[in-house]
Amino acid sequence: MSEHALVDIQGLVKAYDLLPILRKLDLTIARGEFVALLGPNGSGKSTLIRLLCGLSRPTAGLIRIGGWELPKESAAVRAQIGLVSHKPLLYDNLSAIENLQFFGRLYNLSGSGLQAHIQAMLVKVGLAKRGHDLVRTYSRGMLQRLSIARALLHNPDILMLDEPYTGLDQDASTVLDGLLKEAHADGRTILMTTHDLPRAAVLPTRVIILSRGVIGYDASASGLDALSLAQIYANVTSMVSAR
């Protein structure tokens, strides 16, 4: 099964000394899936994302992404991943274009190809007119769109988002929906943590609920609506914590 899996996690444990965050997680994600990762605060969602990005070392277990193993082949893994964290990962005192140039160079992109690509990305996220403005003048929504442009700049196979909807207003959220749909339509695999249950029921193809470091629910999103997901979420999270 792991042959077709883009992301293959086996027996993943992450503990801070004696405080376990993830407990023996097994999970495979196939190419082209759009996975929503739900769960209460402290359930290990962000920890999982950081582990998959190679920003954190597993205590035990195996992570394989696109056939490369973490943390040994972490540079190869990182090259395939675009990350949108809950922080913007952008420099305040640089313009949008300068930010994208900088990160593009770190991914070994350069020259006129990079320039054209940056322009295209800015058009895509609707920031073409603000490209020369300093990032510190951006609103939260614009920052988030620019973050997505930054994450997609090197054309990664996998897009990871850590609570991308936090702090966005309705309009900005709708724009983000569109961008995610588009990225998914382009054939990218998406893993997104969120607290937004209605969105998690609609947008993704698969829903996973983490609770206290284990997978409490994992199923296709087809046929789910916001109400039934909310019911399931309540069951799963209270069930585990009651033990």
CB of 97 to other proteins, least distance (A): 11
Question: CA of 236: how far to CAs of 11, 46, 146, 165, 239, in Å?
Answer: 21, 19, 35, 23, 5
Told to check if 170 binds other proteins by CB under 8 A, we report: no
Of the residues 36, 38, 63, 81, which one makes contact with other proteins according to CB under 8 A? 81
Query: Under DSSP, is residue 75 helix (H, G, I), strand (E, B) or coil?
Result: helix
Residue type, position 199, single letter: R
Stretch that binds other proteins, among 48-56, 182-190, 217-225, 226-234 (CB under 8 A): 48-56
Q: Which residues inside 188-207 make contact with other proteins, applying CB under 8 A?
A: none
Told to check if 59 binds other proteins by CB under 8 A, we report: yes
CA–CA separation, 47 vs 222, rounded Å? Answer: 27
Return the CA Rg of the chain: 18
Of the residues 89, 97, 226, 230, which one makes contact with other proteins according to CB under 8 A? 89
CB of 234 to other proteins, least distance (A): 21
Question: CA of 51: how far to CAs of 2, 20, 69, 108, 224, in Å?
Answer: 19, 14, 12, 24, 29
In the block, tokens 């597993």 appear at 58
Token pair listed for 15: 């503990």
CB of 99 to other proteins, least distance (A): 9
Told to check if 69 binds other proteins by CB under 8 A, we report: no
Is 56 or 119 the residue whose CB approaches other proteins more closely? Answer: 56
Residue in 89, 193, 74, 105 with CA at minimum distance from that of residue 146: 89
Is 104 or 204 the residue whose CB approaches other proteins more closely? Answer: 104
Token pair listed for 236: 């799963």
Is 6 or 83 the residue whose CB approaches other proteins more closely? Answer: 83
Told to check if 242 binds other proteins by CB under 8 A, we report: no
CA–CA separation, 143 vs 168, rounded Å? Answer: 10
Told to check if 129 binds other proteins by CB under 8 A, we report: no
Told to check if 27 binds other proteins by CB under 8 A, we report: no
Stretch that binds other proteins, among 1-9, 97-105, 117-125, 202-210 (CB under 8 A): 97-105
Q: Note if the bond before 156 is cis, omega within 30 degrees.
A: no
Site of interaction with other proteins (CB under 8 A)? 13, 15-20, 23-24, 50, 53-57, 59-60, 75-76, 78-79, 81, 83, 85, 87-94, 98, 102-103, 105-108, 134, 150, 213-214, 243
